[in-house]
Amino acid sequence: MKIKFTKMHALGNDFIIINNIKKNLFLNKIVIQKLSNRYLGIGFDQLLLIELSLNQNIDFHYRIFNANGDEVEQCGNGARCLALYLKIKKLTSKNIICVSTKNRLIYLKILNNKVISINMGVPLFNPKDIPFLTNSIKNTYKILFQNKYINFNIISLGNPHCVIQVKDVSNTPVSLIGSFLENHKLFPKKVNVGFMQYLNKNTIKLRVFERGVGETKSCGSGACAAAAIGIKKNILSKKVYVNLIGGIITIFWKGNNKNLFMQGDANYVYDGEIIL
C-alpha cells in the first residue's frame, strides 16, 4: 500500500500531512509509530489527517496524531502548516478557513505565502477543562518532585498544558521534569509541559515537552499557553513574542473570555510517498 504525504514544518516542529478527504485511509497506532521513526520511517512530531467536514459552515475537519500514535485535540503549529497546505494543494481559494478539530473550531487566516494567523479560541483555566484532578481551584498549583515543590499553572487551548516559570530555560532539566509531569496521575489525559523564562513584558523564552513526543523545537499551542498564563498573571502585555528553539511565534490576547490569536510562519518541505 502506497501512502502519499507532504512534509512540512513550523519553526522546526515537523509534520506529515495526508489528504484523507475520500476517507479511504485508516492508520492504526503501530503504523503511525513506524512512520514517525526518524531512522526507519519518514520522521515527524505529528501526523495531520485532513477530512471533509459534515457541517456546511466548516471547510475541513482535521485529525492530529502524535509520534507515539495517540490522537490529540489541538496543534497550533500544525494548524499553520495545514493552512499553507490547503492553499498549496488548491483545496480552497479562501484566505480565512474554518476547520474543526477533535473538540473545537479554529480559524486559519493566510496573511501571505508563509505567515499564518490562527484564531485559537478562548483559553480555558478550569481544572475540569484540562483535565487536572484537584479538590479546589487555585491560581497556582504545586507538585512534589525530588523533594522540592514545582509551582505551575494549568490551561487548555483545546489540549492540556502545564506552564512552569523558570529563571533560565537553558539550564532546566526539561525532559526529566516534562516526562514526570506528562505522566503524573493528576493529569488523566497527560499534559504538555512548558518552561517559560520571562525576559520583559513583551518577550519570553520557552521550551516545551510535548506529550507523546518529547521536547520539540517549537510548540504553537504551548506558546499560546505560556503567553496566556503570563498575561493572566499581569506580567506580560497583550502582545507577546515567544522565543522557541526553532524561532519566534507572536501571541495576541486581550484576556478574560476573548479569543487568543497566534501568528507565525509555516514551511513546505517536500511531497513524497511511502510503501507500507
Known catalytic residues? 75, 219
Query: What is the greatest pairwise CA distance in the chain?
Result: 56
Burial of residue 121 (CB within 10 Å: 0-12, 13-18, 19+) is buried
Roughly what angle, to the nearest 10 degrees, separates helices 76-88 and 220-232? 130
Q: Which amino acid is at 99?
A: V
CA distance 47 to 41: 13
End-to-end CA distance of the chain: 5
Return phi, psi of residue 160, to 5°: -80, 135
CA 226 to chain centre: 12
Name 209's bridge partners: 193, 215
Buried b (16+ CB within 10 A) or exposed e, 3-21: bebbbbbbbebbbbbbbbe
